[in-house]
């Protein structure tokens, strides 16, 4: 055992231990004592929390299925004006977090909001408020999340549709299937694992969402966890609610994993022949253009326009908001997290590769489970754990400064991001490594190159695109991330997300516009930089 304790084992073990912190904390807290708040909650609102969570989930899954599969269907199989533009433009929805979409939606439709101003300017003064629909509460949340999350279903389904081979369609025709029957009986069943995988990601995002439901004051399990901690100072109740939410997520995780296993049977084979696109004309073409345009408009142009409108209308916030500091803070978090994530992902992946150890493989599989833990749970669990550790340390060493290293510090924040986004980074490097055949390493050894030289001469140059892609994806996630940053950040440390949230929660939506706009700008820029990979059909 001890001769195996090399750098690969140590790094894999360390990552697993770090990821285990929130999971173990939540599970052990299940047996801890709580304040009366939990009993109160059980008797009053707990069922409502669960009901609201499920209601949101069903609504968001239904809409994202229609948006995502519909868009993927049009873009993959048909040729119509603007199809090449829509192919990548639709992924820009990733740049708009659901909570910022919620701010735009409210700002536009609220009493005397933007819609009211437009109507007044066009048709003169009138009581328009009575006729303008209100998008708030659960309905507003479902709309906001659906437009923000449908990209997951779109990207995965499109890749799956792309890999439907023309040969399969031709076999279908040979067996007497019409085009409609081919779609329903051949294409859709083949794409099912991808659609389920996309919907599972949407479901996880929906269950993890804090910013949107909090803004619309919907009581869900996530807001329940946050309130238990911030309003009632009851970490154990927060952790017990987390346990319920994690159970939901575990089910989704299993569904997603199950569907992915099926997906391997849908990889293209040597005889792969792409399906030629059908040229749409007349009303069919118009319908496709309208569907994709509406989706692009509502998912990206609408929230961005609303934010630009307010930023221009209220220029004083340019002076009130320290943009340089927000940029620097965001950049700092992105930089530090990316460095740690990439280094440890390399160490664990390379360790798995050279050692071929099953134990290391199990550790890595466990380590990537962090992405399933919602930000709120992660943050609260880390606070619980480090408070407990601090209590132990102060009782032994008489010092309680331990807590401040991890809670309310950049270090704690980077640690939480590390747990949450390790799977993104690990899987990114892993998929790059899968393309390097093991015999390539062996060829290098046999040509006289050591393991280290093989790493620097073969792996690093080959994986440089993967490293770039991972860096950018981590950046997008961290820029958009809200609950972890909100709960664990140092005092007075703001990012675009927390600044926008702070203003929005004070009903100063016009002030939230500027940081929101910057957030969308950075995220969109990073998405465009990686669009080639996101839409690489793999």
Partner 1 sequence: MSSNFLEIQNVTFTASKVNKVNNVSFKIEKEGEIVCLLGPSGIGKTTILRTIAGLQTVQSGKITLKGKTISSSDFNLEPEKRNIALSFQDNSLFPHYNVVDNINFGSKRNKNSKFKYTSADLIKTLHLEDLTEKFPHQISAGEAQRVSLARSLMSKPDLLLLDEPFSNIDQSLKDELQLNIKKVLKEMNITTIVVTHDSYEAFYLADKCGIILDQSLKQYDTPYKIYHYPNSIEVVNFLNRGILLDAKVISEDSLEQLELGIIKGKFIRKFPKGTSVKLLIQPEDLEHDDKSKLKLKIVDRKFRGTNFIYTLQTKNKDLIPVFVHSHHIHQHEVEEEFGIKTPIFIDHLVCF
Binding site for partner 1 (CB under 8 A): 435-437, 439-440, 442-450, 458, 461-462
**Are the beta carbons of 422 and 345 closer than 8 angstroms?**
yes
- CA 81 vs. chain centroid, Å, equals 31
Cα torsion 374, 377, 380, 382: sign: negative
**Are the beta carbons of 145 and 254 closer than 8 angstroms?**
no
State the nearest-atom distance from the C-beta of 440 to partner 1, in Å.
Answer: 5
Nearer to partner 1, 297 or 445 (CB): 445
Q: Is residue 522 helix, strand or coil?
A: helix
Host H or E run for residue 53: helix 46-77
Look-up: residue for tokens 């770039």?
A: 468
**Which residues have a Cβ under 8 Å from the Cβ of 525 and sit 6 or more positions away?**
none
Nearer to partner 1, 273 or 464 (CB): 464
**Are the beta carbons of 37 and 232 closer than 8 angstroms?**
yes
Nearer to partner 1, 438 or 506 (CB): 438
Nearer to partner 1, 158 or 459 (CB): 459
Measured CA to CA, the distance from residue 200 to residue 134 in angstroms comes to 29
State the nearest-atom distance from the C-beta of 235 to partner 1, in Å.
Answer: 50
**Are the beta carbons of 190 and 168 closer than 8 angstroms?**
yes
Measured CA to CA, the distance from residue 242 to residue 383 in angstroms comes to 14
Determine whether 56 is exposed, middle or buried from the number of CB atoms within 10 Å of its CB (0-12, 13-18, 19+). Answer: buried
Q: Is residue 482 helix, strand or coil?
A: coil
Nearer to partner 1, 384 or 454 (CB): 454
Nearer to partner 1, 133 or 448 (CB): 448
State the nearest-atom distance from the C-beta of 400 to partner 1, in Å.
Answer: 51
State the nearest-atom distance from the C-beta of 439 to partner 1, in Å.
Answer: 4
Nearer to partner 1, 316 or 358 (CB): 358
Convert 446-477 to b/e letters by CB count within 10 Å (16 or more is b).
eeebeeeebbeebbeeebeebbebbbbbbbbb
Measured CA to CA, the distance from residue 79 to residue 276 in angstroms comes to 9
Q: What is the CA radius of gyration of the chain?
A: 25
State the nearest-atom distance from the C-beta of 460 to partner 1, in Å.
Answer: 10
**Are the beta carbons of 348 and 11 closer than 8 angstroms?**
yes
Determine whether 316 is exposed, middle or buried from the number of CB atoms within 10 Å of its CB (0-12, 13-18, 19+). Answer: exposed
State the nearest-atom distance from the C-beta of 26 to partner 1, in Å.
Answer: 43
State the nearest-atom distance from the C-beta of 532 to partner 1, in Å.
Answer: 17
If phi > 0 it is left, if psi is from -120 to 50 it is alpha, else beta; for residue 5 that is beta
Nearer to partner 1, 357 or 394 (CB): 357
State the nearest-atom distance from the C-beta of 472 to partner 1, in Å.
Answer: 20
Phi and psi, residue 242, nearest 5° = -60, -40
Alpha-carbon distances of 361 from 64, 198, 343, 381, rounded to whole Å? 34, 25, 17, 26
Nearer to partner 1, 184 or 440 (CB): 440
Nearer to partner 1, 402 or 462 (CB): 462
Nearer to partner 1, 319 or 439 (CB): 439
State the nearest-atom distance from the C-beta of 464 to partner 1, in Å.
Answer: 9
How many Cβ atoms from other residues are within 10 Å of residue 30's Cβ? 12
Q: Which of 61, 40, 65, 55 is nearest to 213 (CA)?
A: 55
Nearer to partner 1, 234 or 441 (CB): 441
State the nearest-atom distance from the C-beta of 354 to partner 1, in Å.
Answer: 12
How many Cβ atoms from other residues are within 10 Å of residue 410's Cβ? 16
State the nearest-atom distance from the C-beta of 10 to partner 1, in Å.
Answer: 22
Q: In 435-482, where does DSSP find H-type helix?
A: 438-446, 451-454, 460-480
Nearer to partner 1, 444 or 476 (CB): 444
State the nearest-atom distance from the C-beta of 432 to partner 1, in Å.
Answer: 11
State the nearest-atom distance from the C-beta of 431 to partner 1, in Å.
Answer: 15
């Amino acid at each position: 055992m001890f001769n195996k304790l090399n750098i690969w084992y140590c790094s894999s073990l360390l990552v697993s231990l770090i990821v285990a912190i929130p999971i173990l904390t939540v599970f052990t807290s299940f047996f801890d004592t709580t304040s009366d708040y939990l009993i109160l909650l059980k008797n009053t609102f707990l069922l409502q929390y669960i009901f609201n969570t499920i209601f949101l989930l069903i609504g968001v899954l239904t809409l994202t299925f229609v948006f995502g599969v519909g868009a993927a269907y049009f873009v993959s199989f048909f040729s119509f004006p603007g199809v090449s533009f829509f192919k990548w433009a639709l992924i820009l929805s990733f740049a708009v977090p659901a909570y910022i979409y919620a701010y735009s939606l409210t700002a536009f439709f609220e009493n005397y909001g933007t819609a009211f101003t437009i109507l007044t300017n066009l048709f003169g003064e009138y009581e328009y408020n009575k006729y303008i629909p209100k998008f708030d509460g659960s309905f507003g949340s479902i709309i906001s999340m659906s437009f923000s999350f449908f990209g997951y279903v779109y990207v995965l389904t499109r890749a799956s549709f792309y890999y439907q081979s023309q040969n399969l369609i031709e076999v279908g025709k040979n067996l007497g299937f019409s085009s409609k029957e081919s779609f329903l009986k051949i294409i859709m069943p083949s794409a099912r694992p991808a659609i389920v995988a996309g919907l599972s990601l949407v479901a996880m995002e929906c269950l993890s969402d804090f910013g949107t439901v909090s803004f619309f004051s919907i009581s869900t399990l996530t807001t329940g966890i946050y309130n238990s901690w911030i309003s009632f100072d009851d970490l154990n109740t927060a952790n017990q609610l987390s346990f319920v939410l994690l159970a939901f997520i575990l089910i989704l995780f299993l569904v997603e994993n199950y569907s992915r296993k099926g997906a391997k049977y849908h990889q293209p084979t040597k005889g792969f022949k792409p399906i030629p696109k059908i040229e749409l004309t007349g009303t069919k073409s118009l319908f496709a253009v309208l569907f994709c345009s509406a989706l692009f408009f509502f998912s990206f142009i609408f929230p961005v326009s609303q934010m630009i409108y307010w930023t221009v209308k209220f220029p004083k916030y340019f002076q009130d908001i320290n943009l340089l500091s927000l940029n620097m803070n965001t950049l700092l978090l992105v930089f530090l997290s990316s460095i740690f994530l990439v280094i440890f992902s390399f160490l664990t992946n390379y360790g798995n590769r050279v050692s071929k150890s099953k134990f290391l493989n199990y550790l890595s599989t466990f380590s990537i489970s962090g992405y399933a833990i919602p930000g709120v749970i992660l943050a609260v669990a880390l606070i619980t754990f480090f408070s407990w550790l601090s209590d132990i340390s102060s009782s032994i060493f008489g010092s309680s400064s331990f807590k401040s290293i991890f809670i309310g510090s950049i270090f704690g924040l980077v640690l939480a991001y590390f747990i949450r986004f390790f799977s993104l980074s690990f899987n990114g490097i892993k998929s790059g490594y899968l393309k390097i055949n093991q015999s390539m390493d062996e060829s290098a050894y046999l040509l006289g190159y050591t393991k280290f030289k093989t790493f620097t001469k073969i792996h690093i140059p080959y994986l440089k695109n993967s490293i770039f892609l991972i860096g950018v994806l981590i950046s997008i996630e961290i820029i958009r991330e809200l609950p972890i940053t909100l709960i664990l950040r140092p005092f007075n440390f703001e990012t675009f997300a927390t600044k926008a949230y702070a203003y929005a929660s004070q009903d100063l939506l016009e002030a939230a516009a500027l940081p929101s706009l910057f957030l969308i700008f950075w995220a969109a820029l990073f998405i465009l930089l990686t669009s080639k990979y996101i839409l690489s059909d793999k």
